[in-house]
Amino acid sequence: MIDYDEIASNYSKHRDIHPKVLEGLISSENIKKGSNVLEVGCGTGNYITAICQTVGASSYGIDPSEEMLKKARARTGEVLFKKEKAENLDFEDCFDLIFSVDVIHHLDSPSQYFEKAYESLNKDGKICTVTDSEWIIENREPLSKYFPETIEADLERYPKIDELKTCMAEVGFTEIQGNVVEQTKQITDLQAYREKTFSVLHLITDEAYEEGITRMKKDLMKGPIRRISRYFLLWGTKK
């Protein structure tokens, strides 16, 4: 179990917006000036703040971690942030878009979240779950190469895309479909790995972690290490 209250400071230092995820969210016709948009598990608020500032949507964020929310509130006064869990959403026909990034694997009950999200959306409202598919987990660069133990840990932790699709269909979502986005970067320092910004690094043994860091350090001396950051965007519509 990751304690986001504990890691909020390091998290906000290293967590950047994935431009392709933002682009994907904004490309939805459900986001425009004046639409109501909710980010579930908003953490330090980077995505919902960007959406608010880029599109002018009426923007809301919920997260159960007070420390993450403190960082989010310090970022902007334009978004309304509330301490709440995804499974306890309590709105009726309110939002045009509800989305989450890297959150679904933290939920006790994704199906309860989908049920609540369905109730909270307007007719024709959309939900987008930004997550990692099994393929993405197995092919992460450089995480899976230097810390291969993270593959098993995350395959166990992340709900499978087909399971999510089934849960969504069961609560009534239609037009369920997904696409993958990716961005390549060059890593020139190990700070984010040393500070275990990737939550799965908290889930492997100290030995496995140290071994991976040592190998990364050695390779980094030869030049930058390629990082490919991929996400699966899973969409559904309330008809």
Ligand X SMILES: C[S@@+](CC[C@H](N)C(=O)[O-])C[C@H]1O[C@@H](n2cnc3c(N)ncnc32)[C@H](O)[C@@H]1O
The site for ligand X (CB under 6 A) is made up of 4, 15, 40-43, 46-47, 63-65, 68, 85-87, 101-103, 106-107, 199
Report yes or no: 61 and 42 within 8 Å, Cβ to Cβ: yes
> Shortest distance, CB of residue 116 to ligand X, whole angstroms?
10
> Shortest distance, CB of residue 103 to ligand X, whole angstroms?
4
DSSP states of 3-38 as a string?
A: -HHHHHHHHHHH----HHHHHHHHTSTT-STT-EEE
> 3 or 124: whose CB is closer to ligand X?
3
- Rounded CA separation 201/65 (Å): 20
> 4 or 193: whose CB is closer to ligand X?
4
151 membership: H or E segment, kind and range: helix 149-157
Report yes or no: 38 and 82 within 8 Å, Cβ to Cβ: no
Length of the chain: 239
> Shortest distance, CB of residue 174 to ligand X, whole angstroms?
24
> 76 or 219: whose CB is closer to ligand X?
76
> 85 or 238: whose CB is closer to ligand X?
85
Return the residue nearest ligand X (CB atom).
Answer: 43
> 8 or 161: whose CB is closer to ligand X?
8
Tokens of 62: 């919920």
> Shortest distance, CB of residue 165 to ligand X, whole angstroms?
20
> Shortest distance, CB of residue 68 to ligand X, whole angstroms?
4
